[in-house]
């Protein structure tokens, strides 16, 4: 990947515990001063794109101003939902009094957390998740993020992939009536990570054994 080093700010631009958004060419990045270090991430929340500089920097954590997702400022790691993805983060060097950020040629808006690939030879267990809402989808992703390599099956009585139910009374009713715009992850995402989603399946009884 190609990187470029760009002078973004002066060390005096940020006091300890402060964060600010800076424009860099056609992009916006967030710079924060945590203790004596400077850290840079993408400037917008990976949930619905809130400007994170309007949120709160609490120690090493950035709290989104809209729905309180939390990210680690030092790593971009997602620490609290409702966002699903981490923030891209970029190395910062101090050159004299300048803050120089190493940016990739194309800055991604989000980073999907690392997940295990399906490998039934390594793990023969199956997890069946009843209900494919935000909780079910988060459970499936969390299993893969925790390294689970077995089979994951999600069952829902609805005819749609896991979706953001909170949007049903907001943008969906107001101006965006395409059901697909509500989904949390695409079908390609579930296929890529071998998370099987079965719709139109009403669960009537559970026999765990």
What is the binding site for ligand FAD (CB under 6 A)? 131-136, 155-158, 165-166, 168-169, 201-203
16: left (phi over 0), alpha (psi -120 to 50) or beta: beta
Which one, 33 or 47, has the nearer CB to ligand FAD? 47
Q: Is 47 in the site for ligand FES (CB under 6 A)?
A: yes
Q: How many residues of this chain bind ligand FES (CB under 6 A)?
A: 11
| Distance from C-alpha of 114 to C-alpha of 127, rounded to nearest angstrom | 19
Q: Is 50 in the site for ligand FES (CB under 6 A)?
A: yes
CB 195 within 8 A of CB 140: yes
CB 74 within 8 A of CB 104: no
Q: Which helix (H) or strand (E) holds 58?
A: strand 56-58
Nearest to residue 75, comparing CAs of 89, 65, 62? 89
Partner in contact with 47, chosen from ligand FES, ligand FAD, none, beta carbon below 5 to 8 Å by kind: ligand FES
CB 21 within 8 A of CB 43: yes
Site for ligand FES in 113-152 (CB under 6 A): none
The minimum distance between CB 169 and ligand FAD, in angstroms, equals 4
Q: Identify which range of 60-68, 86-94, 118-126, 183-191 contacts ligand FES by CB under 6 A.
A: 60-68
Partner in contact with 11, chosen from ligand FES, ligand FAD, none, beta carbon below 5 to 8 Å by kind: none
Partner in contact with 166, chosen from ligand FES, ligand FAD, none, beta carbon below 5 to 8 Å by kind: ligand FAD
Partner in contact with 51, chosen from ligand FES, ligand FAD, none, beta carbon below 5 to 8 Å by kind: none
Q: Which helix (H) or strand (E) holds 203?
A: none
CB 129 within 8 A of CB 140: yes
Token digits of residue 108 = 């991604």
Binding site for ligand FES (CB under 6 A): 45, 47-48, 50, 64, 66-69, 82-83
């Amino acid at each position: 990947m190609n990187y470029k080093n760009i002078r973004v700010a002066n060390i005096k631009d940020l006091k300890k515990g402060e964060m600010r958004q800076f424009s860099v060419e056609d992009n916006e990045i967030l710079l924060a001063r945590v203790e004596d270090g400077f850290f840079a991430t993408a400037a917008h929340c990976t949930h619905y794109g809130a400007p994170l500089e309007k949120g709160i920097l609490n120690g090493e954590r950035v709290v989104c101003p809209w729905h309180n997702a939390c990210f680690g400022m030092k790593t971009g790691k997602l620490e609290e939902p409702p966002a699903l993805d981490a923030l891209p983060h970029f190395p910062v060097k101090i050159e004299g009094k300048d803050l120089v950020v190493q940016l990739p040629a194309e800055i991604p808006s989000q980073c999907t957390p690392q997940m295990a690939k399906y490998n039934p030879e390594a793990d023969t267990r199956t997890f069946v998740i009843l209900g494919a809402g935000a909780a079910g989808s988060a459970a499936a992703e969390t299993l893969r993020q925790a390294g689970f390599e077995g089979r994951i099956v999600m069952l829902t009585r609805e005819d749609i992939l896991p979706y953001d139910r909170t949007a049903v009374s907001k943008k969906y009713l107001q101006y965006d009536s395409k059901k697909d715009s509500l989904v949390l992850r695409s079908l390609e995402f579930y296929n890529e990570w071998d998370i099987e989603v079965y719709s139109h399946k009403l669960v009537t009884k559970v026999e765990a054994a």
